[in-house]
Structure 1
Amino acid sequence: MITAIGLALDYSVTILNISLTSLAIAIIYVIGMQLMSNKLNSRVAKDDAPSTNFKQITVKFILFSSIIFISGSALALSGDAMAKNTGISATAIGSILVALSSSIPDAMSVFTALKLANINLAIGAILGSNLFNILVIAIADVFYSGGSIWLDTSNKLMYMSFTGFFLTVMVMVVIKRDHTRNTFTYILPS
């Protein structure tokens, strides 16, 4: 909702060249992660520590993050070139083609989590990825030299933001429900 408000505003108040929208997103993200961390820490027993090798996990994380970073950069450059060469708006290319392409790793993670019957990991991966992607915009605002990144965007992105908010609320409703009355109410959110 904060992104939609930030996109709707025609002015931007900045602190050290960072818009209030970006600051609000960063603060809400940190508070949300802290609340979730506190809730998780209260549930996990001390002797449930993982037995995996931390160094090995760190090396794999850095390796795969580097591959994704390079691929994502190439994807953004390709999307920009496609928008310029075809005349299709950059908003459409970014919202559909680039978003679809960059969601393939997320989709594979969710698919694998579902194969392992780990529903919490699957939904956490989807929602966590969406939250982090919004945080990336706030981080980009720090490095954007043209003022507020929120002012230099298309108004069409506001509709995308409202759509994302609505879909996230739907997921929250589905997760929170204990049971459904019939098949129709079960499949209605999907």
Structure 2
Amino acid sequence: MSGWTVWVQFAACIALIGIAGVQLTRYGDAIADKTGIGGTWIGLVLIATVTSLPELASGISAVTLANLPDIAVGNVLGACVLNLSVLALLDLLHRRESIYRGASRSHILAAGFGVVLLGLTGFGLLTGDVASGWVLGHIAFYSPLLLLGYAVAIRAVYRYEATHVEEFTEAEPDQYPGMTLRAALLRYFVAAMVVVGAALWLPFVGEGIARQMGWSQGFVGTLFIAFVTTVPELVVTISALRIGAVDMAIGNLLGSNLFNLLVLAVDDLFYLPGSLLAAASLAHAATAFAVLMMTGVVIAALFYRPQKRLFRTIGWPSLILLGIAGLNGYIVFLHG
């Protein structure tokens, strides 16, 4: 691809994701309103799954076609760091109050499961050589645990939502009276397909940009590809915030991180030479524990619900999130 062609394709991907992302959040909010499931679960499962498919596609491609386990692991964990950094951006954009004050406490449940799965991932990275015999065929011990942990997390949040939302959906006025549930589901599906198509195209365009710029493979895998595959989460989350669906926005970010850790298990399934985390660099453990610390900060903020904001613009939890993300980026840069 020529210099200008690759940038035109990059801009087209961003435009498609932006337009479809706005519709995705609108119809996701309509589904939550008409089913009574709750915005947290809708963001955690429906929207987070759609926006995390680029990580899944690029990860499978990295471990099968390219045989690059470091890029697959770096992409997943780097995307988790960026997702929590987007949470700090939401806090900055949410002018009325700190985003942590009005958020549902069900996010603590999702974040808590994220801590468990992140700890398991870090354990797998640090003990890769020692636990090389703990495999079933070529699948490492942590992959079934990640799959089980994700399933339990989704079920637990759903059950929590079911017992804490309104007893009947008619208890609150319908915010979308002119739209049926079937229409909302159909339009959500169409918007999701546009987001998925553009998002799957985006990493390959990013690879072309990286090749022209002469960037290293490690830098591209851990930071650049992670950034471009996080664009769907960014667009969809900001769109959800603009329509007032704060829980959907936060649920999308935390749900995307849970799904990303599920992607590691799927990548391990496709990585035939052996355990994926055993083949990856130990440097990724730093990123895993950075995400672990950032998730802990989010849990503390959701419990404490800080009222004061520095210069009336951003809360202290968000500054800590950005600080940890910056430190992790510097460490990745030094390893690169």
TM range (shorter): 0.7 to 0.9
> Counterpart of 1:70?
201
Question: Counterpart in 2 of 1:130?
Answer: 257
Conserved? CA contact 2:146–2:265, under 8 Å: yes
The 3 A distance-change label for structure 1 pair 15 and 94 is same
After superposition, where does 1:105-184 map in structure 2 within 5 Å?
A: 105-180=232-307, 183=309
Change beyond 3 A, Cα 1:16–1:37: farther
**Kindly, what percent of the aligned residue pairs are identical?**
21
Secondary structure (helix, strand or coil) at the match of 2:279 reads coil
In the TM superposition, 1:10-89 aligns within 5 A as 10=129, 11-12=131-132, 13-42=134-163, 43-47=165-169, 51-52=180-181, 53=183, 54-72=185-203, 74=204, 77-78=207-208, 85-86=214-215, 88=216
Rounded Cα–Cα distance in structure 1 between residues aligned with 2:296 and 2:239: 25
Q: What is the TM-score with the length of structure 2 in the denominator? A: 0.49
Structure 1: distance between partners of 2:309 and 2:195? 41
Q: How many angstroms does 1:93 deviate by?
A: 2.6
SS of the aligned residue for 1:151 comes to helix
Shift of residue 47 of structure 1? 4.1
Change beyond 3 A, Cα 1:183–1:70 = closer
Structure 1 residue identity aligned to 2:120: I
Give the drift of 1:188.
2.5
**Pair 1:188 & 2:316 matched:** yes
Cα drift, residue 77 of structure 1? 4.6
RMSD: 2.7
Q: TM-score, normalised by structure 1?
A: 0.82
In structure 2, how many angstroms separate the alpha carbons of the residues matched to 1:183 and 1:20?
Answer: 44
Instruction: Write the deviation string for residues 135-185 of structure 1: whole angstroms up to 9, x where unpaired.
Output: 1111111111111111110111000000011101111111122455x556x
**Contact 2:206 / 2:224 at 8 angstroms: preserved in 1?**
no
Answer whether contact 1:174 1:189 (CA < 8 A) is retained. Answer: yes
Aligned match for 1:4, one of 111, 118, 122? 122
Give the number of aligned pairs. 184
Residues 189 and 56 (structure 1), Cα distance of their counterparts in 2 relative to 1, 3 Å cut? closer
After TM superposition, the structure 1 stretch with the greater mean CA deviation from structure 2, 162-171 or 12-21, is 12-21
The CA deviation string for residues 33-69 of structure 1, in whole angstroms up to 9 with x for no partner, is 1101111223354545983312333233234323322
- In structure 1, the gaps of 5 or more residues are none
Distance in 1 (CA, whole Å) between partners of 2:212 and 2:261 is: 24
CA distance in 2, matches of 1:81, 1:153: 23
The alpha-carbon deviation at position 89 of structure 1 amounts to 5.3
Alpha-carbon distance between aligned partners in 2 of 1:26 and 1:78, rounded to the nearest angstrom: 33
Range 21-30 or range 41-50, more displaced: 41-50
Q: Is the 8 A contact 1:25 1:138 kept in 2?
A: yes
CA distance in 1, matches of 2:248, 2:301: 16
SS in 2 for 1:26: helix
Task: Tell me how far 1:17 sits from its aligned partner.
Answer: 2.5
**1:79, 1:147 → 2: CA distance?**
31
Q: Which amino acid aligns with 2:201?
A: I
- Whether the 8 Å CA contact 2:206–2:228 is kept in 1: the answer is no
Can you give the 5+ residue segments of structure 2 that lack an aligned partner in the other structure? 1-118, 319-336
Relative to structure 1, the CA distance from residue 58 to residue 110 in structure 2 (aligned partners, 3 Å threshold; closer, same or farther) is: closer
